[in-house]
Structure 1
Amino acid sequence: MPPSSPSPTSPSPSARPLALVLGASRGLGLLVARELLARGHRVVICSRTRSDLEAARDQLVDAVPGGQVEVRVCDVSDRAAVLDLVRDVESGVGPIEVLVTVAGVIQVGPAESMTFEHFDASLGTMLHGPINVTLPVVAAMRERGRGRIGTVTSIGGEVTPPHLWPYAVAKSGAVAFSEGLAAELSGSGVTATTVVPGLMRTGSHERAHFTGRASREYAWFGPAASLPLLAMSADRAARRIVDAVLAGEVRCELTPLTKVGVRFRGLLPGTTTRLMGLGSRLLPSAPHRVGATDPAEVVEGREASRRLDSRIVDTLTTLGARAAERNNER
C-alpha cells in the first residue's frame, strides 16, 4: 500500500511558518510560544538557561501534541551570540516569519539601592536585546517582503512606576524602538507590534530581584502581580499578544488600567510624575548602608517570600504562585 499523502489542511512540519520567541523558557514568553505552536507554527525558543529551556520544550510538546519545538541557548544582551543565533536558525531551521521578544528582568527597590549593574542588566536584556535580534531578522524579512515582529514592552515604559527605575528606563527605550520600527517598515510587507502590558499573573514575582528592604518590597509587589483586579491572566494576555502580532497591529495595550495610564500620562504628565512620587514615599525606604557605594543585597522573590514569612502575603499571592507552578517559574 502506498504511503498516504498529507492532508491538504495539515501542512508538513517544514511547511509550517517559523516563529522565534526570545525569553520563552518561562512566564509570558512560554505562553506566547505555546499559543504560536497551537496555531500551527514551528517554534524556536530561546533563553540563557538550557535546563529551563528543556523543561519548557517538554511542557510545550505535552500541551500541543505534534508541535515542533527547538531550543537555543542565548543571552540576548550578547550581540555576537544573537547574530550567531539568527544565522543558525535561518540556515538550519528555516526563514523566521514571526519574531517575538519577551525576555526581561525585574528589579524592585528604592533608587538609593540601584546600581550601575542594575541598569546594565535591564538595558542589556530589555532594550539592547530587542535591537540585537530585530535588526538581522528584519533585514531578511524585508528581502522576502513579509514578516511579523512583536516587542513586549510595558506600561512601565509609558508611566515610570516607583521602585522599578531600571526596568522602566529599559522598557521606555523598547517602546521607542518598536514604534520607530513600525514607522520605518510602513509599506514593506513587514509589521512591528508594540505590546504594552500591565501587570500579569505569570508568576514572575518569584524570579524578580528585590533590593533595599527586600522582604518589604516583596510584600507589595508580590500581591500586586497576583491579584485579579490588578494583574491580568497571563494565558489571556498571550492570546491577545499573538492575535495582535499575527494581525500586524501597530500597538497592543492589554488592560484597561494600561489604557487609562497611558492616556492620563499623555494629558497630565506633571501630575502623573507627582503621583508616582507620592507612591514612592509610601513604599519601603532604603536601609542605611555604611557607604553610598556599597551595593545592597539582591534577593530573588522566592527567598524574599521565605524571609518575610507572612501568611497574609502568601494568601494574597496564591494565584501568582499557581501561575509560577504552571509557567515554569520555579
Structure 2
Amino acid sequence: MRTTRSPQALSEHSALVTGGSRGLGLLIADRLAARGCTVTLAARDPSELESARAKLHRRHPRATLHTAPCDVRDQEQVRAVLRTAHETSGGPDIVVANAGIIQVVPLDSIGADEFRSAMDTMFLGALHTALEALPYLRESPHGGRLALISSVGGLMGVPHLLPYACAKAATGVLAEGLNAETAADGVTVTAVYPGLMRTGSHLHAQFGGDSGKEYGWFSTLAGAPFLSMNAQRAAERIVHAVVRRRTRLVLTPLARAAGLAHGVAPAATTRLNALVARLLPEGTGVREPLHEGKDIAPPRGAVTGRVQAMGSAMNEKAADAYNQRSAP
C-alpha cells in the first residue's frame, strides 16, 4: 500500500469500518487513517484484525487504531461495538458497512440456504450497522456520514453470482432510502457500487458446482487490468466520496456502462446476461458445501492454466498486500 497525503483532513473525526480486516475494508481504513481519522476495524476474526491493525500501524504510526471482533449478522454484537467505539474514541462520525461474502456458483448447485447466508451477511449486516450507527451519526458535531458498499452486481442479476447480487441490490436500495430519510438530521448516506477490483478476494470467495472452473474464471476476471480496478484507487475514491457527501458512487467504467445499459434497456441486458451464462462453466446439479478459493487448486490445462495464471497475477499480489493471507 503506497502512502499518499490527502488534503481532506479528518483529524477530529472517528470512524468504524466493518469488514475492515482485509481487502477493500482494510484499504478504506487505510485512507481514513491517512487523513488523521481515528479508526476502529470490525470483523469476525480477531487474528486477522490484529494483523490488519499491525499493517496500518506500520504505515501510519501516529494514527489511533482500534479493533473490535464482531459478527455483523448479530445486531446485539453490532450495538456493543458501536457503544464501545463511542466510549473509546467518541463519535463515530463516519461508518462504512463493508462486510460481505462472495459465492460463485451456478443456480442448480445451491438452494435457499446460500441466498439466506448472503442476505444475512451483506444486507442484514449493513442494516444492523446502519440502525445502530444512526443515533451516533445524528449527534456528530461534524455531520454524520454513512457508506454502504453495494456492487455492480447489485445493479443487475449476474449469473453464477445470484445470492451476492440479490444481497447487494437490497443493500443499494437501503442506502438510497436511508439517505432520503436521514437528510433532515444532517446525516448523508453514500451508496457505493464497485465493479471488479484487485483485492485478492478470490482467496476467500466461495465456489461451488465445478469449483475449479468457477475459481478459474472469477480469479482471472477479478485480476484483469482492463476489467478490474486498482483497489487502492477505489478506496481513495470511496473515502473522497464519503467526505464530499456524495449520495452515489459507481466505480469502474465497465460498472457504469453496465448500470446505464440495464437502466436504459433492461430487457436487452437480461438477454445478454443469458448469453454470458452459457459461456460460464456448466453446473453439476449436485448441492455440495462451497469451497473457499484458497483451498482450490488452480486449473492445470495447458492453455487454461496459463491464462488463469496471467489474469490473476495482480490479484495474487493484492492478496499479500491487503491481508487476504493474514500475514503479520
| TM-score normalised by L of structure 2 | 0.92
Question: In structure 1, the residue corresponding to 2:192 is in which secondary structure?
Answer: strand
Counterpart residue number, 1:258: 255
Q: 1:83 aligns with which of 79, 82, 86?
A: 79
Mapped to 2, the partners of 1:300 and 1:245 lie a distance apart of: 32
Mapped to 2, the partners of 1:308 and 1:58 lie a distance apart of: 36
Q: 1:328 to 1:115 in 2, by over 3 A?
A: same
Question: Which shows bigger deviation, 73-82 or 186-195?
Answer: 186-195
Q: How far 1:91 sits from its partner (Å)?
A: 2.2
Identity of aligned residues (%): 39
Mapped to 2, the partners of 1:136 and 1:101 lie a distance apart of: 11
Q: Is the 8 A contact 2:299 2:308 kept in 1?
A: no
Q: How does 1:203-218 map to 2 (within 5 A)?
A: 203-218=200-215
- 1:53 equivalent in alignment to 2:45: no
Counterpart residue number, 2:6: none
Question: Which shows bigger deviation, 236-245 or 296-305?
Answer: 296-305
- 1:286 equivalent in alignment to 2:283: yes
Question: In structure 2, the residue corresponding to 1:236 is in which secondary structure?
Answer: helix
Mapped to 1, the partners of 2:203 and 2:90 lie a distance apart of: 35
> Structure 1 runs of 4+ off > 4 angstroms?
306-309
| TM-score normalised by L of structure 1 | 0.91
The aligned amino acid for 2:288 is A
Mapped to 2, the partners of 1:283 and 1:100 lie a distance apart of: 33
Number of residue pairs aligned between Structure 1 and Structure 2 = 313
Mapped to 2, the partners of 1:288 and 1:144 lie a distance apart of: 52
Mapped to 1, the partners of 2:117 and 2:285 lie a distance apart of: 24
Q: How far 1:84 sits from its partner (Å)?
A: 1.3
Q: Is the 8 A contact 2:71 2:77 kept in 1?
A: yes
Question: In structure 2, the residue corresponding to 1:229 is in which secondary structure?
Answer: coil
Q: 1:150 aligns with which of 147, 151, 162?
A: 147
Counterpart residue number, 1:43: 39
Q: 1:222 aligns with which of 219, 223, 232?
A: 219
Question: In structure 1, the residue corresponding to 2:93 is in which secondary structure?
Answer: strand
Counterpart residue number, 1:19: 15
Q: How far 1:304 sits from its partner (Å)?
A: 2.0
> C-alpha deviations, 1:186-244, integer Å up to 9, x for none?
23221100011100000001111000000011111111000110100000000000000
Q: 2:88 aligns with which of 52, 67, 92?
A: 92
Mapped to 2, the partners of 1:73 and 1:34 lie a distance apart of: 18
- 1:119 equivalent in alignment to 2:115: yes
Q: Is the 8 A contact 2:106 2:160 kept in 1?
A: yes
Mapped to 1, the partners of 2:151 and 2:211 lie a distance apart of: 23
The aligned amino acid for 2:296 is A
> C-alpha deviations, 1:102-149, integer Å up to 9, x for none?
111000010011222211221111100111011121122224462111
> C-alpha deviations, 1:154-201, integer Å up to 9, x for none?
000001111000000000000100000111122322110001110000
Structure 2: unaligned runs, 5 residues or longer: 1-8
Counterpart residue number, 2:97: 101
Counterpart residue number, 1:315: 310
Q: 1:308 to 1:205 in 2, by over 3 A?
A: farther
> C-alpha deviations, 1:29-63, integer Å up to 9, x for none?
00000000000100000000001000000000001
Question: Which shows bigger deviation, 188-197 or 25-34?
Answer: 188-197
Structure 1: unaligned runs, 5 residues or longer: 1-10, 290-294
Q: Is the 8 A contact 2:38 2:65 kept in 1?
A: yes
